[in-house]
């Protein structure tokens, strides 16, 4: 399992939000590509990049910064989300060097779009499954779709995704602990690898995910933002724990 640093972009800066609220942003760097280099130098094997402005605008806003991050990552895989609501935007990010693109809002609202995108780019599409109280939230997490996250993933049979990033919005940025139970439910519901996200605070959260005894090929990573930036979780120590038998 990989520990995946999050680089969330707002107004050209690397920030973290609390529960997805844009006015709650804490800035951690004015140099997002430099932050990417920091995590690569620390041993990160994958980076998670989200254009928060793009997620709210419905189109890429920090495209040039994303390109800079991909270049700074020097070969480390980068997954990119935020405002990817048509195939042309996805293609642009992939052509720019992103290894995977994350489809969230458009995928939830139009599963046929997700199916077509995954067919066009095998193993290069991730479903961003963002849930509040078990229901999918879209459009920068501002809209409650009313769709149960488990029901939604159960309907996705046959779509060949690289992975699903499951985020518990209520815990995101709050340092209150990862939702291990919901993560396991999602992992058991679909034959697609899952990446956990939201609420990670410390090594205890990584231990709780390992204790789920989900097959290694089903739970392939956990994203951390605030914990790494605030220092409640040390990257190298966390990755060592995940690498241990």
* Residues designated catalytic: 8, 130
Residues 182, 192: Cα–Cα separation, whole Å: 15
Residues 98, 79: Cα–Cα separation, whole Å: 6
Cα distances (Å, whole numbers) of residue 73 to 148, 159, 208, 223: 36, 29, 29, 17
Task: Tell me the three-class secondary structure of the chain, residue by residue.
Answer: CEEEEEEEEECCEEEEEECCEEEEEEEEECCHHHHHHHHHHHCCCCEEEEEHHHHHHCCCCCHHHHHHHHHHCCCCCEEEECCCCCHHHHHHHHHCCCCEEEECHHHHHCHHHHHHHHHHCCCCEEEEEEEECCEEEECCCCEEEEEEHHHHHHCCCCCCCCEEEEEEHHHCCCCCCCCHHHHHHHHHHCCCCEEEECCCCCHHHHHHHHCCCCCCCCEEEEEECHHHHHCCCCHHHHHHHHHCC
Residues 149, 151: Cα–Cα separation, whole Å: 5
């Amino acid at each position: 399992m990989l520990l995946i640093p999050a680089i969330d972009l707002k107004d050209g800066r690397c920030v973290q939000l609390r529960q997805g609220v844009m006015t709650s942003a804490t800035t951690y760097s004015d140099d997002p590509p430099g932050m990417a280099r920091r995590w690569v130098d620390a041993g990160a094997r994958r980076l998670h990049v989200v254009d928060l402005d793009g997620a709210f605008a419905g189109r890429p806003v920090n495209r040039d910064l994303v390109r800079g991050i991909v270049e700074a990552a020097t070969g480390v895989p980068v997954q990119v989300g935020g405002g990817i609501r048509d195939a042309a935007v996805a293609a642009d990010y992939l052509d720019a060097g992103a290894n995977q693109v994350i489809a969230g809002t458009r995928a939830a609202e139009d599963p046929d779009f997700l199916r077509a995108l995954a067919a066009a780019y095998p193993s290069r599409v991730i479903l961003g499954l963002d849930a509040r109280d078990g229901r999918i939230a879209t459009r920068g997490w501002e809209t409650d779709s009313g769709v149960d996250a488990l029901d939604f993933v159960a309907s996705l049979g046959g779509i060949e995704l690289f992975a699903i990033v499951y985020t518990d919005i209520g815990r995101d940025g709050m340092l209150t602990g990862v939702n291990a139970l919901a993560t396991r439910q999602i992992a058991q519901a679909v034959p697609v690898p899952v990446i956990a996200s939201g609420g990670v605070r410390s090594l205890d959260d990584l231990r709780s995910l390992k204790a789920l005894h989900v097959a290694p090929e089903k739970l392939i990573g956990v994203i951390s933002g605030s914990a790494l930036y605030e220092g409640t979780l040390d990257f190298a120590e966390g990755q060592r724990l995940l690498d241990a038998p």
